[in-house]
Amino acid sequence: MKKILGTTLTLLGLAVFGQAKEDSIQFAKISTEILNKGKAYNELRELTKNIGHRLSGSASYEKAVTWAEQKLRDAGADKVWLQEVMVPVWVRGKESLHIKTSNGKWKSLKMLSLGNSEGTGGKDISGEIIMVRSMEEYDKLSPEQVKDKIVFFNYPFSQTYIETFRGYGDAAKYRSTAASLTAKKGGKFAIIRSLSSAFDDVPHTGSMRYQDDKKIPAVAVGSTTADELAELLKSQKITAKLNSNCGMKGEKLSHSVIGEITGKKDKSVIVVGGHLDSWDVGEGAHDDGSGIVQSIEVLRTFKNLGIQNNHTIRVVCFANEENGVKGGVMYGKTVKENNEKHLFAIETDAGGFTPREISLDMDNEKRKQIQSWADLFLPYGVYDFKNTYSGTDLYPLHDLGIPTAELVPDSQRYFDIHHTEEDTFEKVNRRELLLGASTLTQIIYMIDKNW
């Protein structure tokens, strides 16, 4: 009996070793194919240079829809379609911010209105600036102290966190709530220090939201301007003057773009995707043009290598992630209504830098199974599987009980350029971008084979 058991365990060990070797060989084929023949970098150049930034509801976003539809067909998708989505239309328009010291002249400051903010209707709004360094400090101010003032929330992006997304998450509440908090105490508009890990004067935009019907403007300034403003306020009163034409212009019909290769075994779906929209500054290269072209590369690689996928592999180019998540919500709603079985979904929306991690938002059993594949990924620089979050567009799928994940690249440079005019094609490295596409293809291959 002992001999039989020993023989069985030996055979089992050989089988596991053989499977690992087979997977290792396939990983190498995927990496070699993408690093040598991948088209993602050239496609990113097309998207960013020929179309540029792609705010939902804009003419440039609609051009991106047509572009993505064609690229999915070119990559070998069996089926490509557009999913209707009603998206908000926010327009920036002309904007300016000036300050004046007690004895000085008006001085222009670099700034950006926050996304979804209402403006001044093209009129000047001015008042004295008061500064707070934290939410707790603001809470101590009375309505009388805030009334008719401009509140400057000078909360710095924490340099302490090694995972810079933690610093971003820590500071993000100031961007999202500054306007409503200021309005509740009678302030005229809000200024925030940009959510930036860089020490420069580049302002960062990003989404904010109103908590009630009183809608006042909110703008962001770069780190250098924030520091200079803070220094001036130590010794004198400063008046700020804002003129902006931004605001919501209703909604319009738009689309997410979806393409897939049908499974040979069944029609259960594995999703890989990113968001096609971007903010209206820069070129949306890292956020999230990189994710779009990486996702398309996954589909192309399966076709080029002749990998016979068991399940349907679907690329979703989500609409409106930046200022509404309407594309992600609509996709999740459709999955639920159609009772469409999804095995797994991964988003790439953290930049096109070198991949280091796959974050796993799923039950422990499935997480441990994926973690058991870690040795396969290690030669490609991907070593971390401990985090448990996934992309914003995938939250509706996660709420349906579908295992979701996020590709996490090295984040040290991401928040230097995030939501700024600096997010351009030139900031993306070809090898880093293609390594991310390779990691996505490898994890999709393992899920398709084993689930």
- H or E element, residue 60: helix 59-75
pLDDT of residue 102: 80
Q: What is the mean pLDDT of residues 208-212?
A: 93
Q: What is the mean pLDDT of residues 88-107?
A: 94
- How many C-beta neighbours within 10 Å does residue 28 have? 13
Contacts of 192 (CB under 8 A, 6+ apart): 114, 152, 153, 155, 174, 175, 178, 218, 219, 220, 221
pLDDT of residue 213: 86
Its pTM stands at 0.94
pLDDT exceeds 90 at position 282: yes
Helix axes 364-371, 430-450, angle to 10 degrees: 120
Per-residue pLDDT of 233-246, as tens digits, reads 999 999 999 999 99
Per-residue pLDDT of 47-60, as tens digits, reads 999 999 999 999 99
pLDDT of residue 16: 53
Per-residue pLDDT of 339-391, as tens digits, reads 999 999 999 999 999 999 999 999 999 999 999 999 999 999 999 999 999 99
Tokens of 209: 């939201």
pLDDT exceeds 90 at position 303: yes
pLDDT exceeds 60 at position 5: no
Average pLDDT score, the chain = 95
Q: What is the mean pLDDT of residues 128-147?
A: 97
pLDDT exceeds 80 at position 10: no
What is the Cα–Cα distance from 296 to 436, expressed in whole angstroms?
Answer: 12
Residues 388 and 382 sit within 8 Å (Cβ to Cβ): no
